[in-house]
Amino acid sequence: MPDINIELLIESGSYLAIFLLMIANGSVSFPSSQVLYIIAGYFIAQGNLILLPVAIVGAFGNTIGNIILYELVRKHGRAFVSRMKLFPVRELAKVEAAFHKKGAWFIFVGKLLPAIKVFVPIPAGLGKMHRGVFATLMFVASFIWSLGFISIGYFFGKSSDMFGKYALILVAIAAIVLFLFYRYLESDEITREIEK
């Protein structure tokens, strides 16, 4: 979906549009939450939206989307995830083992990482994480995520050129965290766990 369509949807549909778009983002990772929140931040700066309702409805919608994916994985297991072709089977086993080792912290931190936040409901569903704990962690992390990108739109505008200036910083941070994350997945601790 082009950025301009997101802008028009938010302009015409206000908070309901943000809520519905973030349900889609939470379940299928589309449209981009970063773009959506930057545009929403711009509208907040213009006085067309209010910060707290945007952050709450966005986080609530994203949480519902995450719960949909979580419930599908919880019900149908690894076979469902394999059909989605998001992870090779061995990598899926590593992610599941990491979740069992680190639990809630793995889920919470993962939800704040740009490159893997979409996958977080998968190990939670496979591990049958407590539904209430999962939903709470998703909402809190989604709320924090929303504030970061709303702030960019609020202070710097909706321009994609502006976002490009900050993309390198975001990519660098994400790359470092992902390196540490995948290094942990390749660690002896996780390898031993999946070979038991």
Residue 179: phi and psi, rounded to 5, are -60, -45
Domain count, the chain: 1
Convert the pLDDT of each residue in 154-196 to its tens digit: 887 766 555 555 556 666 766 776 677 667 667 777 667 666 6
The closest of 170, 163, 165 to 35, measured between CA atoms, is 163
- Residue 99 CA, chain-centre distance (Å), reads 16
Q: Which two tokens stand for residue 64?
A: 């519902």
Convert the pLDDT of each residue in 120-147 to its tens digit: 898 899 888 999 999 999 999 999 999 9
Q: How far is CA 78 from CA 66, 82, 110, in A?
A: 17, 6, 19
When mean pLDDT is compared across 66-75, 104-113, 176-185, the lowest value belongs to 176-185
Let me know if 79 is exposed, middle or buried by CB neighbors in 10 A (0-12, 13-18, 19+): exposed
- Ramachandran region, residue 129 (left: φ > 0; alpha: ψ -120 to 50; beta: rest): beta
What percentage of the chain reaches a pLDDT higher than 70? Answer: 77
Residue with tokens 């390898």: 191
What is the predicted pLDDT for the residue at 143? 97
- Ramachandran region, residue 71 (left: φ > 0; alpha: ψ -120 to 50; beta: rest): alpha
Q: Which helix (H) or strand (E) holds 190?
A: helix 188-194
- Report pTM: 0.80
- The boundaries of the domain holding residue 112 are 3-194
